[in-house]
Amino acid sequence: MKRLLGAHMPTKGGLHTAVINGHDIGCNCVQVFTSSPQQWGSKPITDEMAEAMAEAKRATKIDSLVSHDSYLVNLAASDPAVRKRSISTLIGEMHRCSRLGIGVVVSHMGSHLGDGEDVGLQRLAEGAREVLNEAPGDVVFAMETTAGQGTNLGYKFEHVAFVMEHCKAHASLACCMDTCHIFAAGYDLRTAEAYENTMKQFDKIIGFDKLRCIHLNDSQKEFGSRKDRHAHIGEGCIGETAFKLIVNDKRFSNIPMIIETPDAETMHKVNLDRLTSFIK
Ligand SMILES: [Zn+2]
Ligand SMILES: [Zn+2]
């Protein structure tokens, strides 16, 4: 069975090198940061960068690319300056991705920072609507399910559904499911029965038609811990069973599945080989 399996790749040496190096270790989809995730602002995409990326896509036949937004973005922030910057950064990121031929921007759902979930969700949903108003039509904005650390929103499928409803099911608004995050948030995946139950809930509340990316990470922290610590595939509290089920799940045959496990340089190939060995 053919799967879209890949990794979050380092971009040292240029964005296009992430695609080439990813291909070398067996990726057929790749996720990148298009600029430093710890800083506001980004260097503009030049014609050379866009052309190098297009050439890397041609050479590797990798067409499924994903960008992860900056860690500083918080659409649910109360501070108007942070909020404004978050919105413009996301709009900018979607336009950068449009130029680079990257079809999906994954974004964390933000934190209410003590103002409460209802208020936070309202601000988040309104922010997402503003982003979508100015986004290019060829890039999807995918909200990522979170572990619910601190005051992070997005640890309940209902949070994602709320934003989608507010944005009137905008065609460019989608979801990214992270296995480590949902497990830490209290959605079990450890047995076939638990896995199916969680997927049923996802489909009922968010909908598989909204799923555009899956992050495959095991969890260093226990079930329901609300802590976000990624572990190597099969070596954490989730265990191999869930990953065997997910890479063989026919419902996800066209969804990029991307590892964000630790030690990219030494362990990405090991984790990808492990996942590939699970495919029947
Ligand atoms: Zn993730
Ligand atoms: Zn995480």
pLDDT tier for residue 161 given thresholds of 50, 70 and 90: very high
Third-level CATH fold of 5-278: TIM Barrel (3.20.20)
pLDDT 10s digits, 86-119:
999 999 999 999 999 999 999 998 999 999 999 9
Interval between CA 185 and ligand 1 midpoint (Å):
13
Look up tokens 């964005």; give the residue: 15
Res. 1: pLDDT tops 80 = no
**Position 228, amino acid:** D
Residue 273 CA neighbour count, 13 Å, CB half: 7
Interval between CA 214 and ligand 2 midpoint (Å):
12
pLDDT reported for residue 43: 87
Sequence ranges of the domains in the chain: 5-278
pLDDT reported for residue 217: 98
Interval between CA 250 and ligand 1 midpoint (Å):
21
pLDDT tier for residue 237 given thresholds of 50, 70 and 90: very high
Look up tokens 């896995």; give the residue: 195
Q: What is the pTM of this model?
A: 0.97
Ligand nearest to the CA of 178: 1
pLDDT 10s digits, 15-64:
999 999 999 999 999 999 999 898 888 889 999 999 999 999 999 999 99
Burial group, residue 264, by CB count within 10 angstroms (0-12, 13-18, 19+): middle
- Work out the angle at residue 149's Cα, subtended by the Cα atoms of residues 233 and 242, and round it to the nearest 5 degrees: 25
pLDDT reported for residue 133: 97
pLDDT reported for residue 180: 98
Burial group, residue 142, by CB count within 10 angstroms (0-12, 13-18, 19+): buried
Q: Whole-number mean pLDDT of the chain?
A: 97
Ligand nearest to the CA of 215: 1
pLDDT tier for residue 232 given thresholds of 50, 70 and 90: very high
Interval between CA 144 and ligand 2 midpoint (Å):
9
pLDDT 10s digits, 173-201:
999 999 999 999 999 999 999 999 999 99
Interval between CA 89 and ligand 2 midpoint (Å):
21
Interval between CA 229 and ligand 2 midpoint (Å):
6
Ligand nearest to the CA of 181: 2
pLDDT reported for residue 162: 98
pLDDT 10s digits, 69-80:
999 999 999 999
More confident residue, 279 or 40: 279
**Position 13, amino acid:** G
CB 188 within 8 A of CB 194: yes
Sign of CA dihedral 198, 200, 206, 211: positive
Interval between CA 107 and ligand 1 midpoint (Å):
9
pLDDT tier for residue 2 given thresholds of 50, 70 and 90: confident
pLDDT tier for residue 277 given thresholds of 50, 70 and 90: very high
